């Protein structure tokens, strides 16, 4: 199988390269491929004629998106449109990586694939705009939403916590009023391989790990697994104001996996344990 990965040098892209190393791969990242240039993107794809395109390239710096809205729209909306058009021209299956930020983030329950998006940040709005471009220009697609992602090399919350636990911080304040599904790139990559085996699958899927935690819970589990004695003190979102508001609820229901009769994503504790043993 010929697989083209946009953003292949990023955290998820690097894991995907290893997961699919037994396939014929082409990495579409700067400077080789600029997804903001429609014609060059189309030509780059046509030179390889992929069977599957995994679209990871995006502007994901949430706070930077707030101050550089035009750039965020160029990369996340127009860039995704160009990828969708190019993939469709190659008759390729497009797997587009999206985010929980497409939702409002204040629901009392986890979000399902059927819930209506209502993004509250520039990042969320542009990622939802990208989803719409995929739906419009490449009917043969999977939109896979993930959140609270960590993986080899980072950058991620796990790497940030491990860096802070250097003995110079007697206490670490970590937000306890935001809840989500910590998710490893290993788990996502394996599930994408499984989904690719079924060409009939299309539409929007949630691919976060099972179980839920606050950032404070997440931090404590990181240190426990690392064998680090680090005091973690819960705090509120209000104590750490950011340019882009963070969703209080990032939890995602994996309804499509259940409907398809596929194995569930791993529990976040198990996924984190595997990652910690491999990375640190």
b/e map of 27-56 (b: 16 or more CB within 10 Å)? bbbeeebbbeebeebbebbeebebbbbbbb
The rounded distance, in Å, linking the Cα atoms of 34 and 23 is: 23
Phi-psi region of 86 (alpha: psi -120 to 50; beta: other; left: phi over 0): alpha
Question: Distance between CA 206 and CA 38 in Å, rounded?
Answer: 28
Q: Is 123 labeled as catalytic in the residue annotation?
A: yes
Choosing from 111, 123, 137, 150, the catalytic residue is: 123
Q: Copy the structure tokens of residue 227.
A: 């064998």
- Phi-psi label, residue 190: left if phi above 0, alpha if psi -120 to 50, beta otherwise: alpha
How far apart CA 20 and CA 28 sit, in angstroms, is 15
Catalytic residue ranges:
123
């Amino acid at each position: 199988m010929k697989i083209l990965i946009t953003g292949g040098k990023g955290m998820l892209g690097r894991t995907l390269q290893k997961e699919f190393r037994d396939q014929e791969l082409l990495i579409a990242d700067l400077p080789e491929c600029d997804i903001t240039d429609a014609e060059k993107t189309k030509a780059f794809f046509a030179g390889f004629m992929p069977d599957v395109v995994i679209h990871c390239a995006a502007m994901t710096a949430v706070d930077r998106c707030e101050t550089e809205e035009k750039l965020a729209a160029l990369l996340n909306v127009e860039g995704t449109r160009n990828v969708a058009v190019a993939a469709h021209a190659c008759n390729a299956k497009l797997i587009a990586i999206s985010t929980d930020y497409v939702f409002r983030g204040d629901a009392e329950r986890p979000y399902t694939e059927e819930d209506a998006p209502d993004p509250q940040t520039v990042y969320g709005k542009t990622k939802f705009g990208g989803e719409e471009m995929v739906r419009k220009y490449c009917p043969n697609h999977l939109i896979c939403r993930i959140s609270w992602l960590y993986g080899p090399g980072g950058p991620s919350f796990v790497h940030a916590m491990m860096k802070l636990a250097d003995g110079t911080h007697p206490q670490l304040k970590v937000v306890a009023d935001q809840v989500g599904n910590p998710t490893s790139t290993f788990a996502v990559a394996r599930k994408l391989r499984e989904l690719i085996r079924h060409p009939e699958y299309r539409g929007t899927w949630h691919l976060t790990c099972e179980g839920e935690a606050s950032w404070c819970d997440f931090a404590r589990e990181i240190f426990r697994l690392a064998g680090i004695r680090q005091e973690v003190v819960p705090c509120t979102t209000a104590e750490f104001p950011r340019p882009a508001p963070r969703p209080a609820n990032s939890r995602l229901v994996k309804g499509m996996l259940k409907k398809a009769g596929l194995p569930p994503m791993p529990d976040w504790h198990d996924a984190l344990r595997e990652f910690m043993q491999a990375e640190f």
